[in-house]
Structure 1
Amino acid sequence: MRLDCDTTERDGVTLVACLLTNDGDDPRRARVANRLDGPVWFPRVDGVPVRGWDDGGYEGVLGPGETRPLGYATPAAAADPPATVVWTERAAHRAREATSVTPEAAARALPDSRPPRAAVPEPDPDPPPSVAAWLTALERGEPGPADRRALDAIVDRIEEIREGEP
């Protein structure tokens, strides 16, 4: 078994993307474990863990030559390697036939990559200090033409967001 992994850190969350490849001639069951110092936030579909995932990592069967994309998030800092194959064994049953996987197909096969809601900080409901100061100044006096255009642009953008436009 071969495991290739990359990590991306963003806002205190490490995203781990791996490709697990059975480079043998027989179907193999493998266990991939997280090596980072934090919990595994594994992929879910409609709140249900994707098959093969648990709190420690992933376990599944790959056919000969098969490559499977795996990905999870964790609040732990990145390290090298972020995950490892801890054991493999010959599979007791026949795995699906191996297919050639392109990077595009691997990306399409990945489940929803959003971290669990608990991992995403709540946005600050207050505007940034500079915007708050500008709005306070507008409340105290008559807005000029540039201020009116800026306010109109903000109102237009808010309506676009409400209507679901990018």
Structure 2
Amino acid sequence: MEPDALRSASSRESSFSELAPAAPRDVTANFFRFGNNGFKAEDAGIVGSQGRDEYTYDDVEAYFNYMGFLATEGTYDRMEALLNSGLHCIDIILLLACSENDTPKVQEILRAGADPTVRGLDGKQPLELATKPELIKLLQESLAKKGAAV
């Protein structure tokens, strides 16, 4: 656009009503109730409702990116190595979540069927990666339910 045309276009005054006429609105707010007041988030399919086999490559990549591993490591090499190792996607997320002490994510995926006895490429299990006391306790309880040595 030439400077004169740009100047004339910017000098025109316009109002919102010229751009988009206001439509009558009927606004209703609906709130979803959780816990004792309604449904559990898991029952509503919001969190933790996936099963073990519903976790995929996309979930691993999303978690890898969400936790900032790509920014820290600069490549997807570790993620790809874990995926190529034959580990199940949910177990990869468990290993990553434990290395980051992400207790809510660990709770979610343990409920979904993650294996607390899985070993990463370095041979370490989730319990060896976690350092947060509440996460260690959660993993110990999960291992005990599975009948694994703690």
With normalisation by structure 2, the TM-score equals 0.24
Task: Indicate the structure whose relative CO is greater, using CA pairs within 8 Å and at least 6 residues apart.
Answer: 1
Instruction: Please state which structure has a larger fraction of its residues in strand.
Output: 1
TM-score (norm 1): 0.22
Return the structure number with greater helix share. 2
